[in-house]
């Protein structure tokens, strides 16, 4: 049966009857004209549907139904006219991450998509090596196949600092391309030292290294970065090696413009073949990329992990989905797995805001 009155939510207070009746008809009137179609609320989705209304046999009840139908029609008209609007859906809340700092931007236009202490200076660990590689790849007339002889000083440096290593063999000749893979995949500080020694200028190794670090800082200045400074070629700093999530992201975004850099940082595993002192070929043990996102997050294209007593656990990352690329950084997370979890959260959030 059609309801005698609408639910309280549909009533209008003391509404003037829709139909031209000031008084109900006399009781002797037994029948009213049937209503063939009347709107009724569909509670499943809040819209109005036209449904058949049964014949009404009692006069007073019929009038009440007609009045109710009129109210329903009026209410439906208000909704159809757009006078009432549904509240817009709330935007997803920014995720919580364990890292002390984080930043994500749209790589296409630099628009910020997520920030957490994005401009606070922190130690960067081996994410510093992004700038190391960037400086090398910016050299004029660069020959990636030119060879560098591995020196004992590079090996001694690794031992003295308990640093991550590409396990380069003293006396072997290694190409610049191979050194870049050794720098970015296993995070070899020996490879970083070799590159700084190769591409710095000066008559001594110390002078060449200092010159190379100067090039790193000059590049940062050219990018307009005011919260970044390097005092090392690999992130093993002396108190003045720092950056921010925002600055590191901008460095990575600039570095990713190089096709060679992009090819290196998205590589999961690489095997170098070097030339020994005797001229024979040495097949090195494969270098595995320390960036677990390459296997653990769809669309990941790079770029570099970092860690250290002061830096904690860091990660600079980038991913492309459906032609859109986000790029970002987390600094000072609580573990190697957690930094990846942090990165995944804020990349998901970033993709949702592009």
3-state secondary structure of 85: coil
Class of residue 57 by CB neighbours under 10 A (exposed 0-12, middle 13-18, buried 19+): exposed
Instruction: Estimate the crossing angle of helix 189-199 against helix 205-222, to 10 degrees.
Output: 90
User: What is d(CA 326, CA 300) in angstroms, rounded to the nearest whole number?
Assistant: 10
Closest by CA to 12, choosing from 89, 104, 77, is 77
Closest by CA to 134, choosing from 235, 44, 253, 24, is 253
Measured over the CA atoms of residue 264, residue 270, residue 276 and residue 281, the dihedral's sign is: negative
Count of helix runs (H) and strand runs (E) in the chain = 10, 15
Q: Is 344 a catalytic residue?
A: no
Place of tokens 């590191």: 248
Q: How far is CA 241 from CA 213, 218, 232, 310, in A?
A: 11, 14, 7, 11
3-state secondary structure of 40: strand
3-state secondary structure of 93: coil
CB of 264 closer than 8 Å to CB of 180? yes
Residue of 123, 126, 165, 254 marked active site: 126
CB of 126 closer than 8 Å to CB of 315? no
Q: What is the pLDDT of residues 118-149, one digit of tens each?
A: 999 999 999 999 999 999 999 999 999 999 99
Residue 76 belongs to what H/E stretch?
helix 59-81
The reported pLDDT for the residue numbered 30 is: 52
The reported pLDDT for the residue numbered 92 is: 83
CA-based end-to-end distance of the chain: 51
DSSP type of residue 229:
B
**pTM of the entire structure?**
0.76
141: Cβ–Cβ under 8 A, 6 or more apart, which residues? none
User: What is d(CA 179, CA 181) in angstroms, rounded to the nearest whole number?
Assistant: 5
3-state secondary structure of 220: helix
CA dihedral 51, 55, 58, 62 (to 10 degrees): 30
Rounded mean pLDDT for each run of 10 residues along the chain, 354 residues in total: 46 45 47 47 42 44 47 44 49 93 98 98 98 98 98 98 98 98 98 98 98 98 98 95 98 98 98 98 98 98 97 98 98 98 98 96
Q: Is 140 a catalytic residue?
A: no
Q: Cα 3 to chain center, whole Å?
A: 54
Q: Is 307 a catalytic residue?
A: no
Residue of 129, 134, 215, 312 marked active site: 129
User: What is d(CA 301, CA 125) in angstroms, rounded to the nearest whole number?
Assistant: 20
Residue 205: phi, psi to the nearest 5? -60, -40
Q: How many CA atoms within 13 Å lie on the side-chain side of 302?
A: 24
Residue of 123, 164, 165, 187 marked active site: 187
Strands 173-175 and 287-288 turn out to be unpaired
Class of residue 88 by CB neighbours under 10 A (exposed 0-12, middle 13-18, buried 19+): exposed
The reported pLDDT for the residue numbered 72 is: 44
Closest by CA to 329, choosing from 114, 183, 131, is 114
User: What is d(CA 342, CA 334) in angstroms, rounded to the nearest whole number?
Assistant: 10
């Amino acid at each position: 049966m059609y309801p005698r009155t609408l639910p309280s939510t549909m009533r209008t207070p003391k509404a003037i009857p829709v139909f031209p009746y000031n008084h109900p008809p006399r009781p002797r009137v037994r029948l009213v004209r049937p209503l063939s179609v009347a709107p009724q609320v569909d509670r499943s989705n809040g819209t109005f549907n036209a449904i058949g209304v049964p014949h009404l046999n009692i006069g007073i009840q019929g009038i009440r139904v007609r009045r109710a139908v009129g109210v329903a029609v009026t209410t439906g008209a208000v909704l159809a006219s757009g006078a009432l609007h549904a509240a817009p859906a709330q935007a997803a809340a920014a995720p919580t991450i364990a890292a002390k700092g984080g930043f994500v931007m749209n790589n296409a236009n630099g628009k910020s998509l997520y920030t957490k202490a994005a401009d606070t200076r922190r130690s960067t660990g081996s994410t510093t090596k992004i700038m190391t590689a960037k400086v090398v790849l910016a050299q004029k007339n660069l020959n990636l196949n030119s060879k560098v002889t591995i020196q004992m000083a590079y090996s001694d440096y690794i031992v003295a600092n308990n640093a991550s290593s590409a396990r380069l063999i003293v006396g072997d000749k290694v190409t610049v391309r191979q050194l870049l893979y050794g720098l970015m995949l296993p995070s070899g500080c020996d490879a970083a030292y070799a590159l700084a020694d190769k591409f710095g200028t000066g008559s001594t190794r110390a002078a060449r290294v200092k010159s190379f670090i100067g090039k790193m800082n000059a590049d940062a200045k050219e990018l307009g970065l005011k919260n970044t400074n390097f005092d090392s070629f690999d992130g093993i700093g002396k108190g003045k090696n720092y950056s921010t999530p925002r600055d590191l992201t901008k460095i990575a975004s600039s570095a990713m413009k190089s096709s060679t850099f992009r090819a290196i940082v998205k590589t999961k595993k690489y095997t170098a073949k070097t030339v020994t002192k005797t001229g024979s070929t040495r097949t090195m043990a494969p270098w595995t990329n320390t960036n677990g996102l390459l296997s653990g997050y769809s669309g990941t294209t790079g770029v570099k992990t970092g860690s250290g007593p002061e830096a904690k656990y860091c990660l600079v990352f980038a991913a492309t989905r459906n032609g859109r690329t986000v790029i970002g950084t987390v600094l000072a997370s609580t573990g190697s797995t957690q930094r990846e979890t942090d990165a995944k959260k804020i990349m998901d959030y970033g993709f949702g805001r592009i």
